[in-house]
Structure 1
């Protein structure tokens, strides 16, 4: 089997070389050929805002698996994160990270004798990571948060299937549906629906801020937690901190056709080229990759050798028993290699699995992008429109102006809000506002309307005010497709 290989930036090439050396010693190179592809900082420097060449994209799409080191993201202008771009472009919809207490890695929990072992599953495509952002007024920037039913279903199915395969009996859904009632509300609703298909797995939910507190106070109560993208990004890094940091946190990005295995820590440019970086996270990510393609026995052999080496005090300069020699990257991997075939004595060995051959089956390349849909046969009816206007005069003045502009339309003004808070027809003089008003129009009693009617009103408004955004309000099978403002 051939696997695309992107060594990464900064310390990436040296920890990748060390990892491949270890894998070769375990016999992986007899079954896997790694094919280098050009990605990262050097490609950004050529003016390529994707950070990857066309040839790299072709190779990854042909091979279906990418193993990559850490990569730098341009700050400020220029290209976006290559990590996010790759996950989204290739629909690697589920980010899976396993956090466990490792021997020789001292944390407050290991000192207290608390061994951690849990997983975070994060939706990987949607949410604010769509990067859809606009400047709408002098003072207002807006980011769009996209949560879809098919996107929820993909990652939730992965979480439950992974839990079932690994014998995990509880999957928590973490969310903020108490505030984001439609977006996180959809994620929670799809979680509860999906859970009905897995009666052997308990499916409680927890608000994300409570989860963060609980992870610090009593992390052992969780076995697997599934979250939306932004919340999952934050919580997974918090979880890494519980077991020693991102240097000990593997990461897999799983898709229908293409999967990506990577170290998610930084590129550490301050130590790049010195040969002293810790390769553990990349090794662990590589073990996820080996299991993904069917090399379970090889992965277990390497993992047990790593655990045995850590148990015996092998460490790089960023962790470990200072009374024992600090090893450089190559020497650290040599300590692991010397223990291939051994098992740790103080922690549970990795199970050997049953397969030592490639079992991954490549899917045919799709002819075009797949369009997914969960809900069908939905009756949709126009109920109004939200119009966002730029203005600095009082909300009451905006309301008077809009009442005049909608007088002959099927719609009437029902609300003016600012930053989500109602300021008309009811409001407080203590509510501080900015130059960005949401004006809501809803159907007059007994009237019906089409999208054309909404656009006609919008066109009339644009003759008298600067419109920065517009949202069509519709009901779906009679259920309102929008939220109320705070204070309504």
Structure 2
């Protein structure tokens, strides 16, 4: 009996490259059956704000595996990306993208004899991709960057397990904890906590800007890198450039119940319907899907056929030797099919254990899973940061705020765009019309939430309050950062 998966062909060139890949699967007698689901731009246009029908959502949740082509999110209509929404709704917390040099795909590194072979794992749920943004004033927009201990642990543990399965020896954590000490700091702290469970693997960290510089100068240094969502998005596309572009970059979004395999290049509407698109990225993603589902023999055979095809100089119009005729999408798929059973000069591809064999058995939970790593942690309210709209000078704002304080609070600083401007600062610090007033508790005072909301209400009589953040200690450790210059 064939295993059924959900397939969404996508927008633009999506249907053409998906048809090519499924034809290659059929030629290799892959034991899969397909249920095609309705997702993408046309479903946004039809009034589905999520970009998919309810039937599509139900089908994917029942089958557990979605194979999808590239999809377009309409611009300027206030709707969220269908790609990001799908990853987040189904908690596909780990985005794995394998990058390696391919014979027949020339890059500056292949010409220099430098071989690229690395895997980027990107946290896929949190960070600024939560899309929680607000205009605090007409001039000031703010986004919340959410990094959680459970979410970090999930993707980091996945990374170490994957590295061990694939025989890698080194795992790096890319981060910006030197600046974002609480968010990236939490991610980095979790990385080293979990690394202790894998003494056979070398764990180290690298600041993300240094990482990018080294990736484009010495990519052979790296084997596995795990990063937060936004940084991982940027770095994974950078790595695609090392091996020929997004047309050669597979993408697997792995969750505990539902996983998504997709091409991450664009929909290329300018060439849609012309049968000239390159199906390689989607085919590589499909090969990853086969390995994930346990079809490792099919995956190896098809990958060998693709590598042999590329090595023979067969190419679509977007890459390869310009002195030889390019193939259209159908012809390229035909070449891969004709190469089934053949191997490149570098030898055969083994059925690499990239993924724990999963199939598509979905264990439907009865309720939303909630994870709290340490429910017994001791919490203490230390004060509040009050974000206000104000067009005057810092000393003037401090004077207004002082008139509203009671004997529970002291005002310790005022900042603008994260830089302290009161009680000390520089006249050269340029200002915008939003300030942060930090109030901390007086010695010996125990604060409640009601106390915090009360003082904020008092301040609101003097100045427009935009937002507040509680200042918390957790087991005696400050859960808030200092201002620049504080």
TM-score (norm 1): 0.97
Q: Per the alignment, do residues 289 and 311 of structure 1 end up closer, same or farther by CA in structure 2, a change over 3 Å counting?
A: same
- 2:248 maps to what in 1? 248
TM-score (norm 2): 0.98
Distance 1:343 1:468 in 2: 63
- 1:323 maps to what in 2? 323
Contact 1:409–1:457 (CA<8 Å) still a contact in 2? no
* 1:17 corresponds to 2:19: yes
How big is the shift at 1:464?
2.1
Distance 1:409 1:277 in 2: 70
Query: Equivalent residues in 2 for 1:61-140 (5 A)?
Result: 61-140=61-140
Q: Per the alignment, do residues 352 and 383 of structure 1 end up closer, same or farther by CA in structure 2, a change over 3 Å counting?
A: closer
Contact 2:387–2:437 (CA<8 Å) still a contact in 1? yes
Contact 1:409–1:453 (CA<8 Å) still a contact in 2? no
How big is the shift at 1:77?
2.6
Distance 1:388 1:165 in 2: 48
1:462 pairs with one of 454, 460, 473: 460
How big is the shift at 1:98?
0.3
1:3 pairs with one of 5, 9, 26: 5
Contact 1:97–1:251 (CA<8 Å) still a contact in 2? yes
Q: Secondary structure at the match of 1:171?
A: strand
* 1:198 corresponds to 2:201: no
Distance 1:156 1:146 in 2: 16
- 1:49 maps to what in 2? 49
Distance 1:42 1:361 in 2: 28
How big is the shift at 1:149?
0.1
Q: 1:224-277 CA deviation, whole Å, 9 max, x = no partner?
A: 100000000000000000100000000000001100000000000000000000
Distance 1:156 1:471 in 2: 28
Q: Secondary structure at the match of 1:454?
A: helix
Query: Equivalent residues in 2 for 1:168-317 (5 A)?
Result: 168-317=168-317
Distance 1:2 1:392 in 2: 61
- 2:40 maps to what in 1? 40
- 1:26 maps to what in 2? 28
How many corresponding residue pairs?
A: 482
* 1:350 corresponds to 2:349: yes
Contact 1:64–1:259 (CA<8 Å) still a contact in 2? yes
Q: Secondary structure at the match of 2:260?
A: strand
How big is the shift at 1:391?
0.3
Unaligned residue ranges in structure 2 (runs of 5+): none
Unaligned residue ranges in structure 1 (runs of 5+): none
Contact 1:246–1:264 (CA<8 Å) still a contact in 2? yes
- 2:377 maps to what in 1? 378
Q: 1:146-183 CA deviation, whole Å, 9 max, x = no partner?
A: 00000000000110000011111100000000000000
Q: 1:278-300 CA deviation, whole Å, 9 max, x = no partner?
A: 00000000000000000000000
Which sits farther off after the overlay, 228-237 or 455-464?
Answer: 455-464
Q: Secondary structure at the match of 1:458?
A: helix
Which sits farther off after the overlay, 77-86 or 260-269?
Answer: 77-86
Contact 1:412–1:442 (CA<8 Å) still a contact in 2? yes
- 1:366 maps to what in 2? 365
Q: Secondary structure at the match of 1:304?
A: helix
Distance 1:451 1:351 in 2: 59
- 1:421 maps to what in 2? 419
Contact 1:49–1:78 (CA<8 Å) still a contact in 2? no
Q: Secondary structure at the match of 2:403?
A: helix
Contact 2:305–2:341 (CA<8 Å) still a contact in 1? yes
Distance 1:192 1:89 in 2: 28
Query: Equivalent residues in 2 for 1:125-164 (5 A)?
Result: 125-164=125-164
Distance 1:399 1:392 in 2: 13
Contact 1:48–1:79 (CA<8 Å) still a contact in 2? no
Q: Runs ≥4 in structure 1, deviation > 6 angstroms? A: none
Distance 1:104 1:148 in 2: 42
Q: Secondary structure at the match of 1:136?
A: strand
Distance 1:11 1:430 in 2: 52
Contact 2:6–2:63 (CA<8 Å) still a contact in 1? yes
- 1:167 maps to what in 2? 167
Q: Per the alignment, do residues 167 and 113 of structure 1 end up closer, same or farther by CA in structure 2, a change over 3 Å counting?
A: same
Q: Per the alignment, do residues 115 and 348 of structure 1 end up closer, same or farther by CA in structure 2, a change over 3 Å counting?
A: farther
Contact 2:165–2:353 (CA<8 Å) still a contact in 1? no
Q: 1:419-447 CA deviation, whole Å, 9 max, x = no partner?
A: 00000000000000100000000011222
1:438 pairs with one of 436, 439, 449: 436
Q: Per the alignment, do residues 352 and 384 of structure 1 end up closer, same or farther by CA in structure 2, a change over 3 Å counting?
A: closer
Q: Secondary structure at the match of 1:364?
A: coil
